[in-house]
Amino acid sequence: MRSLEDLLELQGLDSSIDRLLDRRSHLPQLAAFRAAHQRLERLDAEITAAAATRRELELSEDRAEGEMKLDEAKVQREEQRLFAGVGLTAKDLTHLRDEVAQLRERISRREDEALALIDQQQAAAARLAGLEAERRVTLADKERLEAEIAAEWKAIDAELGRLEARKRETVPLVDPELLDLYEEIRPIKEGVAAAALTDGTCGGCHLKLTAAEEIQVRREHPPRCLHCRRILVTR
């Protein structure tokens, strides 16, 4: 009987350990932490893309301004020739005026393009700043959750250590054959292989035995529930 009582104590320890392990792997903060981690990965990818877009727009603006300056310099040279009129025929003057007009139109188009690129660049910069701000908030949230998880795990691990120490002390007190049966039943009975028989009711499946069934159970060694076949500790 002492071995059965020790087995019931072992079952209590194992059940407590199982609950703690389940709690450790299912902390509410874990789901939030994983979600924050996934948001950070998404934000990092979006920030990289947004930074590349902004850089591309900056290069496009630089190119547009450079080309516009070249056109403006050319217009200035051609206008000086046109105003001087030295050695130019009427046909040359007409051609030169047409070329200057075309250059003026091209400069105007490039000015519009440059302004549009500036607007796009500002929008890209604003989007990048927004993403970076969101990343800072998300990172702070992730770090807070990480600290909460670490604190919870520390407390759980301390309690697990205490229970495991008690379990190491209890296991040698149980008859080896009884312990083997217990370990065989536990995996197929949701971790509960031993239960108390209280007022004729099995503490494992919670079904009540008849008086005749209870007498039959008490005669077995070890006593086992006729319904769920768990090891019973009669009281």
What domains does the chain contain, in order, with CATH numbers?
A: 27-159 (1.10.287.1700), 177-234 (no CATH)
Output the pLDDT for position 65.
80
- The answer to whether residues 225 and 202 touch, using CB atoms and an 8 Å cutoff, is yes
Output the pLDDT for position 74.
82
- The answer to whether residues 37 and 142 touch, using CB atoms and an 8 Å cutoff, is yes
CA 60 vs. chain centroid, Å, equals 37
Output the pLDDT for position 1.
52
Whether a cis peptide bond, with omega within 30° of 0, leads into 223 is no
CA 40 vs. chain centroid, Å, equals 8
| Mean pLDDT, 10 residues at a time, the chain of 235 residues | 89 97 96 96 96 90 81 78 68 75 80 84 93 97 97 98 97 96 96 96 96 93 95 89
Residue reference for tokens 């200035």: 76
Residue reference for tokens 């229970």: 163
3-state secondary structure (DSSP) of residue 119: helix
Q: Tokens for 1? A: 């009987």
**pTM, two decimal places:** 0.71
Output the pLDDT for position 106.
82
Report DSSP state, residue 224.
B
What distance in Å separates the CA atoms of residue 201 and residue 231, rounded to the nearest whole number? 13
Report DSSP state, residue 186.
G
What angle do the packed helices 90-170 and 28-84 form, to 10 degrees?
A: 170
N residues, the chain: 235
